[in-house]
Amino acid sequence: MDLTGRTVVVTGAGRGFGRAAALQAGRLGARVFVSARSPAAAQGVADEVATDCGAKTEAFACDLSDPASIRAFAEGVTAHTDRVDVLINNGARYLEGPDLWDADDDAIADTIASGATGTLLTVKHFLPLLRASAGADVVNLVSSAAEARNHRSQAHAAFYAAKAAQAGFADILSHRLRPEGIRVISLYPPDFMDGDPLHPTWDQTSRTAGDPLTAQSVLDCVLFAIGQPRDCFIRSFHFEQMQG
């Protein structure tokens, strides 16, 4: 996979999968824009990408539960580039707790806003840059929690609600952007093992049928989908749950 000359935006890039996606995009030659709720976290990852592979990287603070913050993020990226080729909607707040009363009202509202409204507004405000690309992809890291009758996650009901809304948005977005040649690719992974691309074990992680899903494999799915010819619209990846 070669992303040389392409511009990649990753939300929620301060840690975990978003950080891994940013590092891998840089290694593959992309110009990378990263965001995180914490400005220091975003800048830290941008510095890691630049040090790791020399890729040109810019960092932005973005609170996905705050519409003004999303607009400022999009405006900041627009000041540096005339297009976005890949937008990875990774950022969303996770909230744990099997009982509805386990979280306060603000945490519930923030969880739904960041995962649902945040994804919608991010796409809305990056759409002019996506339309300026010769072949744009919108990638949504949803969750198996959005699948019907999936009860395996111990996440709070608010997280389930946010991911269901995100999935519904992605589905209609794919249909409506198809005539413009913009692909919308959504992934529905169960809980998976985060890895660190800067650690020597990244390339040696066991990925057998008996192992839990890894960040490496989820990222491979993303790269596979965006690497397909433009007549190939892969709308979603659904993953088999481990037994148990």
Instruction: Identify the DSSP state of 33.
Output: E
Range of the domain at 222: 7-104+113-238
Give a yes or no: residue 2 inside a domain.
Answer: no
Task: Work out how many domains the chain is built from and give that number.
Answer: 1
Give a yes or no: residue 244 inside a domain.
Answer: no
Who contacts 155 (Cβ-Cβ below 8 Å, separation ≥6)? 94, 95, 96, 97, 143, 145
Give a yes or no: residue 119 inside a domain.
Answer: yes
Q: For 85, what's the count of Cα atoms within 13 Å in the CB-facing half-sphere?
A: 18
Give a yes or no: residue 234 inside a domain.
Answer: yes
pLDDT at 243: 58
Q: What's 212's domain CATH number?
A: 3.40.50.720
What residue ranges in 37-155 does DSSP mark as E strands? Answer: 57-61, 86-89, 137-141
pLDDT at 154: 79
Low-confidence ranges of the chain (pLDDT < 70): 242-244
Give a yes or no: residue 243 inside a domain.
Answer: no
Who contacts 17 (Cβ-Cβ below 8 Å, separation ≥6)? 90, 141, 192, 194, 215, 218, 219
Give a yes or no: residue 1 inside a domain.
Answer: no
Question: Measured between alpha carbons, how far is 118 from 69 in angstroms, rounded to an integer?
Answer: 10
The answer to pTM > 0.85 is yes
Give a yes or no: residue 140 inside a domain.
Answer: yes
Give a yes or no: residue 49 inside a domain.
Answer: yes
